[in-house]
Structure 1
Amino acid sequence: MDDTSDHWTPTRRDYLRGSAMLVGGGLLAGCTGGSSGENAMADDGTTASTTTTADSSYTVSMAPVGEVSFDRVPESVFTVFPQYADMAVALGHGDAVDTVYVPKMSGTTMNHYYHHLDGVSFDWEGLQDPLADGITREEVYELGSDVHFVDPAYVTTQDGWNRSDVEEVASTVGPWFGNFYSGTHATAPEAYRDDYQYYSLWELFGKVAQVFQETERYRQLEAVHADLLETIREGLPPAEERPTAVRVTMAPKRDVFYTYHLNEPGYWLADTRPLGATDAFAAKDWSNLWGTVDFETMLEADPDVILNLWGLTPYASTATTRERLQDHPVGSQLTAVQNDRVYPAGMRYQGPLMNLFQLEMGAKQLYPEQFGAWPGYTDGEPYPDIPTEEQLFDRQRVAAIVAGDR
């Protein structure tokens, strides 16, 4: 609200918070089916996809949804995992987000990073959690979002959904545009398997940028990412000198670790794979890249570094994890505990802005001699302040791109 005016005009998000939208035949989001032109080279370097016609409609192509047509830039988007919400923020469309997984956790974590980007924030309060009761058709129709940044193949694995339900939503509400199984390179449901393709995080971001018609912002942010990766590549020590590490979450009331690989394919590892640390559990074969181990198994591996997954979120205290390890007769013997190398990690469900910070964070935690020491972190606080000369990417440059000032 403008303090200088007595008049207030509700935004679309305010309206969604206060009442449900009626759904009818007029809620088409421009999903008109086929392409109106030849495929072009996409901005992420892959073949295909934004085609614009004289009436300003355009198409974007991505597996497994194929070509999707839009008659205007979406003003409301349905997301599940926060990587798509982060993409929307990065492209200047954060206010379009209608839903996100565990809004307090996702939104707070995103804002922990955005704290260092002037003018960038995510207003998560009042958003619905699409997985609170599982994705439901009632919620999808009620919201009437212009586009659903969700993989339709994933949706068909949810209770009460089949492929015909998914296709009905695409034709009467708004198209689906997501790719879930690239997260781990897991096998997609059989009905979608022949059409499936795996993408990197930044390739997916490039395609979302095409949906929002923000390819210039994407190109500029991708250049920041490329510079950061080059800085990391140039600074990494030889493989034989790198530490062993694990990325884990401790079960709240059991002496068990949920453990995740570091260097396997998939965009859920976009913040660890480029760092090239030695995965202490690389030989373990887990479905979906995760498994469980007990304290004795952890001590057998005895990693140099323990990365506490979700440690920058409100729901996985790194201080508590350290205390539990220190107070445990086996945990206290771990090299990482004795050397004070138990660090907070971010979220697997990371978008491009989150990825920049999480790459920097991991580089400092794993290789302090090469990239500068990690300054430590206090639970519940934003991402810590790092002196300008020790930052691995330029915050002001990123903030200016998000604001559209570059």
Structure 2
Amino acid sequence: MNDDHDLTRREYLTYGSAIGASALLAGCAGGDGTATPTGGDGDDPTEASESTEPAEGTETSSGYTASMAPVGDVEFDSVPESVMVYSLLYADMAVAYGHGDAVNSLGFSAQAGGNTLDAYYERLPGVSFDHEGIEQLNTGNSGVNIDRELFYELNSDLHLVDPALVLGFDGWAEDDVEEIRENVAPWFGNVLSRRNSEPPAAYADEYEYYTLWEIADRTADVFRAGSTYEELAAVHADLLATIEADLPPESERPTVASVIFMDGTFYPSRVDTAGFSNAHIRPLAPADAFAADDVSFETSYDYERLLEVDPDVILHRYGINAYYDVGAIRDSIASDPVGEELSAVQNGRVYAGAHPVQGPLMNLFQIEMTAKQLYPEQFGEWPGYEQGDPYPEIPEDERLFDRGRVADIVGGE
């Protein structure tokens, strides 16, 4: 089983614990550990623009075709009107391309995932995601499973889901994946690029790894939104140029620890590895506090071990209107006699961090947020964040990208 299959199982426990199922084992939260990159790990949207795929998909005699590993070419008669989505990044992409109303499901809590998107979209006039009535696909109580009957009940035009991920769910085999493709609708998705994880054997020859913006490019073809993608990619390129122009020298960059904290235990994640889970932090090139450690899903730190590392900055994953009240977590750490000695605690640098399963709109905000958290002298102070609030209002002259421009692009203007 590849790492992302395992991560999905562990995330189920993480989400359940954070939302209120306190009986679940905290030790199964897991991190984003290291993986051997076997594909591109850049975040330059020009990489995707140079793809051989045309901006609006390939025309055929009966419609058009979009392409992405591991499923290859998928032919469409028209833009899908009902779309199954498991991972949040594809919900964000559907909204970005003007088809958020087509999304009929999310893998975990639709409320929690929708609240995260709401937090960012609050700062994009006219952009929203109606997540009322959206189906929760994961029906497992202790693991992860999607009931095959749900596929028939939802009767989607497209499953915007990576079939390589589904093979890791309880009770699923290759024949089941093929049955759904033939009897309901095709698959189209790639999520093992989150960490460039090893695919299951059935997809080993077909799998490719993409950057977040390459996935966004190929998904734009599904919605015939190539021009929208190009405009958003241009905003992203401008944002990266702004970051690159003002990055401090390496010697002045802080050490950063990305963690999940539960029940007195820290679950670490590397920030210097390939994959779209780090697409918000890779352009900022900080020093990884865990670079010298062998971080895996089984890795956990107590207070004493984290104090040995003593990062300058702690970023708590899933921190923006998602599963964790980072303000309360910060207070809990500071109340511990060892935790209070952490430099990040003493200097007020424990922050609500990004959601690693990010789409392109989320990515723009999360790059800006992380830049301010890591380099306030260069990019302006991060104003702080309270659980349940939208993404904080940033004074216009301190914003790193133009909200109005992004909202107009999503709105088709």
CA contact (8 A) 2:89 2:357 kept: yes
Q: Which has the larger radius of gyration?
A: 1
- Aligned partners of 1:277 and 1:307: how far apart in 2? 12
CA change 1:90–1:401 in 2 (3 A) is same
Query: What residue number does 1:37 align with?
Result: none
Find the partner of 2:288 among 270, 279, 295. 279
Partner of residue 364, structure 1: 372
> For the Cα contact (< 8 Å) 2:113–2:322, is it kept in 1?
no
In structure 1, the partner of 2:120 is 113
Q: Which residue pairs with 1:53 in the alignment? A: 60
Distance change (3 Å), C-alpha of 1:187 and 1:389: same
Is 1:393 matched with 2:401? Answer: yes
8 Å Cα contact 1:44/1:202 also seen in 2: no
Q: What secondary structure, in the 3-state scheme, does the structure 2 residue paired with 1:135 have?
A: coil
Contact residue 256 and residue 295 of structure 1 kept, 8 A:
yes
The residue aligned with 1:149 is 160
The number of residues matched between the two structures is 361
Selected match of 1:340 from 345, 348, 354? 348
Aligned residue identity for 1:373:
E
Question: Quick one: distance in 1 between partners of 2:50 and 2:181?
Answer: 27
Aligned to 1:5: none
Give the whole-Å Cα distance in 1 for the aligned partners of 2:333 and 2:218: 42
Taking a change above 3 Å as real, the CA distance of residues 396 and 239 of structure 1, as seen in their structure-2 partners, is same
Moved over 6 A (4+): none
TM-score (norm 2): 0.85
DSSP-derived class of the 1:111 partner: helix
Residue 249 of structure 1 deviates from its aligned partner by 1.2
Partners of 2:207 and 2:339 in 1: CA distance: 42
Q: Distance in 2 between matches of 1:132 and 1:169?
A: 18
* C-alpha contact 1:43 1:215 (8 A) present in aligned 2: no
Given that 1:82 and 1:350 are in contact with CA atoms closer than 8 Å, whether structure 2 keeps it comes out as yes
1:374 aligns with 2:382: yes
Note the C-alpha offset of 1:43. Answer: 6.1
Structure 1 pair 42–53 and aligned structure 2 pair: CA distance change class (3 A): farther
Question: Secondary structure at 2:301's aligned position in 1?
Answer: strand
- Residue 266 of structure 2 corresponds to 257
Equivalence for 1:85: 91
Q: Is the 8 A contact 1:99 1:127 kept in 2?
A: yes
The Cα of 1:281 is off from its aligned counterpart by 0.3
Which residue identity lines up with residue 220 of structure 1 in the other structure? E
Q: Does structure 2 retain, via aligned residues, the 8 Å contact 1:313–1:346?
A: no
In the TM superposition, 1:173-322 aligns within 5 A as: 173-251=184-262, 254-287=263-296, 291-322=299-330
SS in 2 for 1:250: strand
1:340 aligns to what SS in structure 2? coil
Which residue does 1:103 correspond to in 2? 110
Write the letter of the residue equivalent to 2:287.
T
**Ranges in structure 2 where 5+ consecutive residues have no aligned partner:** 1-45
Aligned partner of 2:14 in structure 1 is none
Letter in 2 for 1:332: E
Structure 2: distance between partners of 1:177 and 1:221: 21
TM, length-normalised to structure 1: 0.86
1:266/1:314 Cα in 2 relative to 1: closer, same or farther (>3 Å)? closer
Q: 1:278 to 1:42 in 2, by over 3 A?
A: closer
Give the whole-Å Cα distance in 1 for the aligned partners of 2:322 and 2:94. Answer: 22
Q: What's the secondary structure of 2:242's corresponding residue?
A: helix
> Residue type of the partner of 1:283?
A
**Aligned equivalents of 1:234, 1:314: Cα separation in 2:** 32
Q: In structure 1, list runs of 5 or more residues that go unmatched.
A: 1-40
User: In 2, Cα distance between the equivalents of 1:225 and 1:162?
Assistant: 38
| Higher normalized contact order (CA 8 Å, seq sep 6+, divided by chain length) | 2
Residue 67 (structure 1) aligned to one of 66, 70, 73: 73
